[in-house]
Structure formats: C-alpha cells, structure tokens
C-alpha cells in the first residue's frame, strides 16, 4: 500500500469550507494493518506521531496539520496541510531521524484545487522538522519477553 498516496486521496476528500479538521493521521502497524486517526490539535498530533513510531512500532506513519500561510512560505495558496511522513528504514537512518521533516499539500476549497505533495518546500521542511524535534521523545524503552 502506498500510504502517502492513500493519505493524499483521503485529505482531498475531506476538504471543506473550514479546511481539514480534525487533522488526519494514518499509520501502518507492525502487522501491515492501516489505522486512521483524527487529531484535534498540533500537540496531540505530534504525540500521536511519535507514539506510533516508538510504542506501537508502526512501519509507516503520516499526519497533517491544516494551516494558513503567507507569501514568504513558498506555497501556492493561502491554505495548506503541512505534513510529516516517516517510514521504517527511510534513508537508512535511525528511528528518531528517519522522517521527511515536512511536506505540504497546497489546496483551496472554491474552486476546488488540491495539488500533489510538495516535499521540497524549504520553509515547511524546516518548520515541521523543528516542531517534530520539539516533541520527540528523549528515550525509547524496549521490553522483550522471553
């Protein structure tokens, strides 16, 4: 399953005059099953994201936050969904750094336009990386049963 494409399709169907709320989150668990979550505010979204990776042992995880932008942020429209995507083994990095620091889905409600993911937006890459780091757990405990 292409989680990024599934997420984009889901987000595209959820946009209304108020934007995208609650914030969507999707993950693929260690058994390959998909979970869809409704995340009500940014802090809980980041906690959900890190919990999926560190506690639930998800293989892949993505979430987005609906935001308004201004001219200096490299976006096409005033409304975007800023996203963080993580996948097990992405770029051969460790669990706590193996994520795309950010991407955006530029959109507008009327007339309806939903752009493809932009994972090259420097402003939002830096911003989302900083926000993800701020909520990153400082330790990870693994308990193995015998």
Per-residue pLDDT tens for 48-97? Answer: 998 898 888 888 999 999 999 888 898 889 999 999 988 876 555 555 55
Q: What pLDDT was estimated at residue 88?
A: 75
What 3-state class would DSSP assign to 60? strand
pTM, two decimal places:
0.85
Token code pair at residue 52: 């999926």
Q: How much is the pLDDT for 132?
A: 84
Give the mean model confidence (pLDDT) for residues 96-123. 84
Q: Up-side HSE of residue 140: CA atoms within 13 Å toward CB?
A: 14
The pLDDT tens digits for 9-45 are 999 999 999 999 999 999 999 899 999 999 988 889 9
CA distances from 42 to 7, 29, 111 (A): 18, 22, 27
């Amino acid at each position: 399953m292409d989680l990024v494409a599934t997420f984009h399709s889901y987000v595209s169907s959820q946009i209304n005059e108020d934007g995208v709320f609650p914030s969507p989150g999707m993950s693929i668990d260690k058994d390959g099953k998909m979970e869809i979550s409704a995340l009500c505010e940014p802090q809980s979204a980041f906690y959900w994201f890190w919990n999926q990776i560190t506690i639930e042992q998800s293989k892949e995880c993505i979430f987005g936050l609906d935001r308004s932008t201004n001219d200096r942020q490299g976006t096409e429209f005033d409304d975007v969904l800023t996203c963080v995507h993580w996948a097990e083994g992405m770029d051969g990095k460790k669990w706590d750094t193996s994520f795309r620091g950010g991407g955006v889905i530029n959109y507008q409600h009327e007339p309806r336009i939903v752009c493809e993911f932009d994972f090259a937006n420097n402003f939002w890459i830096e911003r989302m990386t900083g926000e993800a780091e701020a909520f990153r757990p400082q330790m990870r405990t693994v308990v193995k049963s015998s």
